[in-house]
Structures are given as structure tokens and as C-alpha cells.
Amino acid sequence: MVRNEATQALAPADIETFKAFMPELFAGSVHVDIQAFSPLIDSSDVNPECWVRIARMVYDHYDDYDGFVVLHGTDTMSYSASALSFMLQNLSKPVVFTGSQLPVGVLRSDAKENLLTAIEIAAAKDDEGNAIVPEVTIYFEDRLFRANRTTKRNAEHFSAFNSYNYPALAKAGVHITYQPHLVHYSDPKEPLILHTSFDCNVAVLKLFPGIQQPVVRALLHTRGLKGVVLETFGAGNAPTDKWLYRELKAAVDRGIIIVNKTQCNTGSVEMGLYAVSLNLMKAGVISGYDITTEALLTKMMLLLGENPEHAKELIGQDLCGEMTID
């Protein structure tokens, strides 16, 4: 981002700005090519069409590079990076998302360190010449996270992202320390498969004390609705009102996929642990375990678009490290 001198508002930075701010990009031992989308947009305007453009660029140039770095605004970075983790099946090269909290050109901007380290990670190989972290990740401040485990946690500090339910894949200091045992490895012999069909007829229903039946009914009867992320209390609990059970059961019977996602950042859904979650099980709600809302939404949209007949079966399965199933 750069600050517009006329309005003083932040706007997307073009490639020439990055080149002027970071001549190191082209002075190191790593060969870097840059491609930009036109027009540049704020990440708040990102949608599945943008995800397809990013993923297709990786797919089309997959054999040309050792790794890829995606510069992306922080507001929706976890959504985009999560989406690509599902879109790029059998990925065996790094795709590292990064950005900054302070705009390019500001004296204390974190853009330079984030970008240069992301490039180093994308190019990193082990002694056998294999990519060290061949999955979609987010690098920010000094941590490398699995993309589909991340959430933006802070709008103020440089540590904007966290992975609450899965450890960092690497930590950057004077040296970058990788944790290979935590990395998701695909079979390098399998070809990269690109998935691009999204169905956006999904919604998030966040429960709260005092939620009323007309609100729930209106959402569940949205025309064309196919999937719902149900954000519940604690370990996947919900009010025991009979009307809530009836509305959820009726929606499931109509073919709507409803997945139980805890509102807590840390921890997992454990349906049946408490009596107040039994009605959800009876209604046919599926456990989302410890998945993030960002990963669950993008996974649901892609499954409904690519494989609607098996979406209900696959939504509760771990496809690429996005959830921990005990």
C-alpha cells in the first residue's frame, strides 16, 4: 500500500514503487520475476475470481519457477491463501503469501523484511534439492504459517496473523529455522491439479445469547443457500431451544450443509462432549473440528462448486492439513 497524497487514504502500490523501495529484489542470488494484476485492488475487494487468477498464474508458470510469492493485502489474506491451498492439489512447490501492516515507503514499514524473507523461503531447498516447505503458507513478521490455519488477529501490531491450532512451520531470526516434521508434503510424482469452480451460496451464522428464530429462519431460507458455517460456543455448543433444532434439522433435510465451527480461536469442536451439543448432532450438523472460519468457508465454496455430490462427505475430512481430526 501507498498513501495517496490528495486523499491521504491508503491505496494499492504498483510494481514500480516496490522496485524503487527494494532494489535488493534484483541484487541477490535469487532470480525474481514480477507479474502484477491490472487493475490493482484493495484486498477488501477480493473475491473468488481473484483467487482463480492467482492460482492460474501459479499453475501456468509452475514449471518455470522453484517457488512463488504472492503480495496481498492483509484484510483478506487468510481467505485467499486458504482458498489456494485447496485449489492447488498435489502442490510440491512453495506458494508464500505476504504483505505489510505499514505501507511501502514509510520509514518503519515491515514490507521489505516480509517480502525479502518470503522470497528466501520460496526459494529454499534441502540438501537433495527439494523445496523445504512445498505448500501454501503465510509469512509475516518472523513466522511462517500454514495458510489454511491462519487468521488475521491484529490490525495494529506487526504480528498481524496467527495460527492458533497449529505450530509455525518456520521462525525467522538471524537464521530461518524450519520445522520439516510439521510440513504437509504431497507426492511429487503426482501432477498439479487446478480447481477453479466456486459456489458462493454459503453463509456464516454466528450464534449469540438471545438470538431469535426469525433471524435464523431468514438466513436458512436464503434463496439458493447450500452451505452454512455455524459459529457456536465453546466446544461446539448451542442453545437447546426446540425451535433452533427444528430450523437446523429442516435446513439439513433440504440438503443444506451445516458445519459446526467454534467461536473460540484455540481449541476444537467436540460434539457430544456437552449435552447442549447433542441437538446439533441429531439435526445432522457436521463437526468442523479446529478449522478456521476462513478455511472452512473457502473449502465449502470450492467443494460445492467442484464436487457438489460429495461435498457433504468431504467437508468433514482433512484434505490438506486444514484441520486436526482426533
Is 160 in the same domain as 240? no
Is 210 in the same domain as 169? no
CATH code where residue 225 lies: 3.40.50.40
Cα–Cα distance measured from residue 249 to residue 240, given in angstroms and rounded to the nearest whole number: 13
User: In whole angstroms, how far apart are CA 127 and each of 95, 130, 132, 172, 174?
Assistant: 20, 7, 10, 19, 20
Q: Is residue 322 situated within a structural domain?
A: no
Q: Is residue 323 situated within a structural domain?
A: no
What is the pLDDT tens value at each position of the chain, 326 positions in all? 445 555 545 555 566 666 666 667 666 677 888 888 888 888 999 999 999 999 999 999 999 999 999 999 999 999 999 999 999 999 999 999 998 877 776 767 787 889 999 999 999 999 999 999 999 999 999 999 999 999 999 998 888 999 999 999 999 999 999 999 999 999 988 999 999 999 999 999 999 999 999 999 999 999 999 999 999 999 999 999 999 999 999 999 999 999 999 999 999 999 999 999 999 999 999 999 999 999 999 999 999 999 999 999 999 999 999 999 97
Cα–Cα distance measured from residue 171 to residue 8, given in angstroms and rounded to the nearest whole number: 35
Q: Which of 160, 91, 118 is nearest to 30 (CA)?
A: 118
**pLDDT value of position 109:** 76
Cα–Cα distance measured from residue 146 to residue 135, given in angstroms and rounded to the nearest whole number: 8
**pLDDT value of position 87:** 98
Is 28 in the same domain as 165? yes
Decide which of 194, 222, 248 is a domain's last residue: 194
Residue 267, number of CB atoms within 10 A of its CB: 14
Q: Measured at the alpha carbon of residue 311, what is the angle toward residues 79 and 230, in degrees to the nearest 5? A: 60
Is 262 in the same domain as 285? yes
Is 159 in the same domain as 28? yes
pTM above 0.75, yes or no: yes
Q: For residue 110, what are the contacts with CB-CB under 8 A and spacing of at least 6?
A: 100, 101, 102, 141, 158
Q: Which domain holds residue 21?
A: 2-194
Q: Is residue 320 situated within a structural domain?
A: no
Is 229 in the same domain as 167? no
Exposure string for 6-31, b = 16+ CB within 10 A, e = fewer? eeeeeebbeeebbeebeeebeeeeee
250 in Cβ contact with 221 (< 8 Å):
no
Is 185 in the same domain as 243? no
Decide which of 147, 173, 194 is a domain's last residue: 194
Is 19 in the same domain as 99? yes
Cα–Cα distance measured from residue 276 to residue 238, given in angstroms and rounded to the nearest whole number: 6
Cα–Cα distance measured from residue 145 to residue 15, given in angstroms and rounded to the nearest whole number: 26
Q: Is residue 324 situated within a structural domain?
A: no
Q: Is the dihedral of CA 203, 300, 321, 65 positive or negative?
A: negative
Q: Is residue 210 situated within a structural domain?
A: yes
Is 78 in the same domain as 208? no
Q: Is residue 326 situated within a structural domain?
A: no
Is 229 in the same domain as 139? no
Q: In the chain, how many domains are there? A: 2
Decide which of 194, 226, 245 is a domain's last residue: 194
CATH code where residue 63 lies: 3.40.50.1170
Is 189 in the same domain as 221? no
Omega cis (within 30) before 39: yes
Q: Which of 262, 48, 50, 290 is nearest to 150 (CA)?
A: 290
Is 9 in the same domain as 39? yes
Q: Is residue 67 situated within a structural domain?
A: yes
Q: Residue 69 phi/psi, 5° resolution?
A: -120, 130
Q: Is residue 170 situated within a structural domain?
A: yes
121 in Cβ contact with 176 (< 8 Å):
yes
Tell me the pairing of strands 88-89 and 193-194.
antiparallel
